Structure 1
């Protein structure tokens, strides 16, 4: 696998020079400063590529070109946003950036309720606490009809949770959920968030899937022509939030998307953390099922809590998945297909000097360095064990 590192551009607290010291050789980034739906000028892409290469690294993956909400809702005129997206794919490919990770999550990208959940060792992790999420949905956002999505026990627990929180803690919860986590490119107030949810009132799961199919009809041929590979990212978490549909959370979802278009350009990002949150997912089976469409890999581990709807980001080799088995399956795939798949250590604990410095939520330096080192060690051990004698 090609060891990569997510970098959020010149303002990222972790510099490209820092990345060189991790041993990673590839960069995963995007032009985050460009508004959603806007075509990325090729000269801007070239400048970013040159900046990366000046530090002895390569731009391996674009993560992400954001998909405009009008595409997801199928609003009138959505096609022009899709054409802009396709043109950006072409421009990236001309600059030799040919793997594009994207997602089709409505309104919110990945979602967490706590960005600094303290672990017993003193490090902090990202966490999704279902009761906190329910408290926000029911009593802060006050979403119309929200109570239908919860049991009476859920509602009671959410009321208790909220009553025990200070105003500062409530405000932090709001920021964590709707102010926009890294890579989401969107930030909302409570009112604008309600407006965005309202735009989906007539968009159910099947309609969202059809809107994805319509989008792929435009962008897959463009990617194929340009020699690029599209890699849709699983939903995070892989379940409905705020009454919004989700369509990329299980093996069945992935194979259904693969069946939309037989082109290898219609592919996947295998995110071990996102898929691993779903208790019914068998990641080794998923890797086998879509093996010819895996273009990018996020390696991280999540740990479900007593209420399995809650989870936190565990150490990369811990949690609810067998990371060693997953890496072995991926290495066998690479050897059989004679390819190298870009991977990155996804997220990481804030630890050691990370705790004293500013960092992008989920993307501290030391925590990810630990993860990369562990994943690298597992990969080399597997290669040694599987090497023909």
Structure 2
């Protein structure tokens, strides 16, 4: 497997490329132009700037996370074709500098949902926390204010400007069903996948986080059955998955090990992280260590080894440890520890 590390850029990340360079086994950085609004074309000159930065430290930039989908595409609005045209041009621009995988999601309105960016763990560290009852009872506008209030770093998917359009979006989605959303995904893929094939760029859809309906909004990237349905929408090896153990693993009916074997030819990108599930439906993110959470991280890595996985993998969200001041979920220390744990497991299976 090819180990990579998510990086938000020189001006929007506490972690530097020189620090990432010192983590053993990291081959590339996972990046994006987070300041480009969804639906706009990513300019080639901006893309080249990121490539030049990665080249300086000997990193590839094969994986982009994420090229976000405009809400008009998800809604199936009349203007969606113009936004799909823009997406296609972005795919071509990224291919021109060697990008191989584009991670994206198809979640209405919110890319991810948590109620506390600094939930306290027993060891004194903090991590992203989801409280089921709070989500069921909070006004989503209040939640946006909570998440967007982080003073240091922008939070992709929770930009403050969303407050201005949030009510309009909820109104637009009011009559949209999960089946409608799936058909709109089909329409998007039928137009974009042929371009991906021609430019050797694989699309990898990220699971919904969390993988169930939130605030009455439909969600479709939730289970093994749904993932299979998405793969079948356009039967091409370029229509693939970002298999995120943490996002899918908070549903007890999702078996991550089984999914790895089932989708072995369509997993273009893998996120590996652990979560602690609670009886009341809450969950909090933990260290990657198997015994710290509810997911069998050791068996998940073993499954990737068994299928001979040669794709890209990154440690996903980390705790905030050792007084590190960082983007919530994306500090240096715990993700670096996570890499060493994952690579230790991988080496053990390799040498068995």
Question: Are the aligned partners of 1:65 and 1:102 in contact in 2 as well (CA < 8 Å)?
Answer: yes
Q: In the alignment, is residue 202 of structure 1 matched against residue 190 of structure 2?
A: no
Q: Which residue of 2 aligns with 1:332?
A: 306
Larger Rg over CA atoms: 1
Between the two proteins, the alignment pairs up a number of residues equal to 346
1:151 counterpart residue number? none
For 2:248 and 2:83, how far apart are their aligned partners in 1? 28
CA distance in 1 between counterparts of 2:131 and 2:185 reads 29
CA contact (8 A) 1:66 1:185 kept: no
- RMSD (Å) for aligned C-alpha atoms: 1.8
Superposition deviation, residue 353 in structure 1: 3.5
Q: Indicate if the aligned counterparts of 1:302 and 1:314 stay in contact, CA closer than 8 A.
A: yes
Any conservation in 2 of the 1:37–1:68 contact (CA below 8 Å)?
yes
Question: Map of 1:1-389 to 2, 5 A cutoff?
Answer: 1-11=1-11, 12-23=13-24, 24-137=26-139, 174-176=145-147, 182-184=155-157, 186-188=159-161, 190=163, 192-308=165-281, 310-318=282-290, 319-334=293-308, 340-354=310-324, 357=325, 359-385=326-352
Q: Distance in 2 between matches of 1:32 and 1:333?
A: 33
**Structure 2: distance between partners of 1:60 and 1:333:** 22
Q: Is the 8 A contact 2:5 2:29 kept in 1?
A: yes
TM-score with structure 2 setting the length: 0.94
Kindly indicate which of the two structures has a greater share of residues assigned to helix: 1
CA distance in 2, matches of 1:108, 1:181: 14
Normalising by structure 1, what TM-score? Answer: 0.85
CA drift at 1:177: 7.3
Tell me by how many angstroms 1:360 deviates: 1.0
How far apart in 2 are the matches of 1:185 and 1:25? 29
Q: Deviations along 1:139-182, whole A, 9 cap, x unmatched?
A: x75xxxxxxxxxxxxxxxxxxxxxxxxxxxxx788422798973
Helix, strand or coil: the match of 1:59? coil
Alignment deviations for residues 57-93 of structure 1 (CA, whole Å, 9 cap, x no partner): 1112000101000000011110111111111111111
Check the 8 A contact 1:86/1:219 in 2, yes or no: yes
State the Cα distance separating 1:103 from its structure 2 match: 0.3
Q: For 1:270, what is the secondary structure of its paired residue? A: strand
Q: CA separation in 1, counterparts of 2:87 and 2:171?
A: 24
| 2:145–2:160 CA contact under 8 A, matched in 1 | no
How far apart, in 2, do the equivalents of 1:126 and 1:267 lie?
27
Deviation of the 1:301 alpha carbon:
1.0
Structure 1: stretches of 5+ with no match in the other structure: 142-170
What are structure 2's unaligned runs of at least 5 residues?
none
